[in-house]
């Protein structure tokens, strides 16, 4: 096969994988601290609308991405107030966040439907980006892709090798012990949840600034939920999130190419492939690794200090 074509396909795999990987790595941090935030989809879609609106008004992709990230943090703050401040049910609060995000993003994006921007610029290093076969794949992506990889590397290092990471994992695995040892359980969880929100917002703004450089209502199309599944699929390990995201990105791209080539299957079946793949991945994973052995022990459990 033509190496340039292979590179082109791989580039589309990377772009499809990037929002999943960024959102999932943020959720991974929140979950390692013991908080299950099912509102990823809601934070992402708000990030997409705010990111596009800010970028359109300021004419700066960077400011757009920043605003998208901040909006994700704000949404996560709302969630944190409920589940950390008030010890409300995490599953239901996450759903509320998703429902709220769907409506809110529509309100924010209403004035921007149909507007277009140029997509986020790609890296271009003379000599490297032009290398045949892999130059564009490695040296010609947009800033989100590199930011995503850097985030994963930072989280992997931070969780495994730093004191802060160890504390965060302790809080997620046994909040009572962590509390007795004098760690501020609620504050650590708050920070982890806000980090997750920021990542989801960034992932959302990637969708409206780079993946398809315009805003359309509901454009996340379940990617936030797939990111949640990805965390389970990755057994809560950062680098496996990257591998999983590439796999899911591959499934998405495969489906797009199959539709373009006119494979004799109905388009709706192909469109359902990423969701089917998610269910299948969850099934295969559970087969290998019986009930959540890898999950943080306190996942979803609220912490209330006795006094």
Partner 1 sequence: MRLDLQARAAPSRTIAIAGPILALLAAMLIGAAVVALLGKSPAEAFMAYFVAPLSESWSLQALAVKASPLILIAVGLSFCFRANLWNIGAEGQFTVGGLAGGWLALATRDGAYQGTFGGWWILPAMLVLGAMGGVLYALIPAILRVTLGVSEILSSLMLVYIAGYGLDYLVRGPWRDPQGFNFPVTANFDPEATLPSLIADGRLHAGILLTVVAVLLAGLVLSRGMFGFEVRLFGTAPKAARFAGFSERALTLAVFAISGGLAGLAGIAEVSGQIGQLQPSISPGYGFTAIIVAFLGRLSPFGIVLAGLVLALTYIGGEGAQVSMKLPLDLTGAFQGVLLMCVLAADVFTRYRVRLVREA
Query: Residues in the site for partner 1, rule: CB under 8 A?
Result: 38, 42, 78, 82, 85-89, 91-93, 95-107, 110, 186, 217, 222, 225, 228-229, 232, 266, 268-269, 271-272, 275-276, 278-279, 282-283, 286-287, 290-292, 304, 307
Least distance between partner 1 and beta carbon 99 (Å): 4
122 DSSP β-pair partners: 142
Q: Please spell the DSSP secondary structure of 56-118, one letter per residue.
A: HHHT-HHHHHHHHHHHHHHHHHHHHIIIIIS---HHHHHHHHHHHHHHHHHHHHGGGTT---P
In this complex, which beta carbon is closest to partner 1, that of residue 70 or of residue 97? 97
In this complex, which beta carbon is closest to partner 1, that of residue 87 or of residue 164? 87
In this complex, which beta carbon is closest to partner 1, that of residue 100 or of residue 128? 100
Nearest Cα to Cα of residue 228 among 186, 249, 200, 195: 200
In this complex, which beta carbon is closest to partner 1, that of residue 145 or of residue 231? 231
| Tokens, residue 278 | 């998610």
Least distance between partner 1 and beta carbon 72 (Å): 16
User: Rounded to an integer, what distance in angstroms lies between the CA atom of residue 95 and that of residue 278?
Assistant: 19
In this complex, which beta carbon is closest to partner 1, that of residue 3 or of residue 267? 267
Least distance between partner 1 and beta carbon 32 (Å): 17
Q: Are 189 and 34 within 8 A, CB to CB? A: yes
**Eight-class DSSP state of 195:** H
Least distance between partner 1 and beta carbon 50 (Å): 14
Q: Please spell the DSSP secondary structure of 1-46, one letter per residue.
A: --HHHHHHHHHHHHHHHHHHHHHHHHHHHHHHTT---TTHHHHHHH
Least distance between partner 1 and beta carbon 8 (Å): 27
Quote the distance between the C-alpha of residue 182 and its chain's center.
31
Least distance between partner 1 and beta carbon 161 (Å): 29
């Amino acid at each position: 096969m033509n190496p340039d074509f292979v590179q082109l396909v791989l580039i589309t795999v990377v772009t499809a994988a990037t929002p999943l990987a960024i959102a999932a790595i943020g959720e991974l941090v929140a979950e390692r601290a013991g908080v299950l935030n099912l509102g990823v989809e809601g934070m992402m879609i708000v990030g997409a609308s705010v990111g596009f609106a800010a970028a359109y008004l300021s004419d700066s992709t960077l400011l757009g991405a920043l605003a998208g990230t901040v909006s994700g943090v704000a949404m996560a703050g709302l969630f944190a107030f409920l589940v950390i401040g008030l010890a409300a049910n995490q599953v239901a609060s996450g759903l509320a966040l998703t429902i709220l995000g769907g409506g809110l993003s529509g309100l924010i994006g209403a004035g921007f439907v149909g507007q277009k921007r140029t997509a986020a610029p790609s890296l271009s290093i003379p000599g490297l980006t032009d290398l045949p076969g892999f130059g564009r794949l490695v040296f010609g992506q947009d800033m989100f892709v590199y930011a995503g990889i850097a985030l994963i590397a930072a989280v992997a290092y931070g969780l495994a090798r730093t004191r802060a990471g160890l504390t965060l994992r302790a809080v997620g695995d046994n909040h009572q012990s962590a509390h007795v040892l004098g760690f501020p359980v609620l504050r650590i969880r708050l920070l982890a949840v806000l980090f997750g929100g920021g990542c989801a917002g960034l992932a959302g703004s990637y969708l409206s600034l780079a993946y398809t450089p315009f805003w359309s209502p509901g454009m996340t199309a379940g990617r936030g939920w797939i990111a949640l599944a990805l965390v389970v699929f990755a057994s809560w390990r950062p680098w496996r999130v990257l591998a999983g995201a590439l796999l899911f990105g591959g499934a998405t791209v495969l489906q797009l190419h199959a539709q373009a080539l006119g494979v004799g299957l109905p388009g709706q079946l192909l469109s359902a492939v990423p969701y089917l793949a998610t269910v299948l991945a969850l099934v295969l994973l559970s087969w290998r690794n019986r009930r959540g052995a890898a999950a943080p022990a306190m996942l979803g459990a609220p912490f209330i200090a006795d006094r």
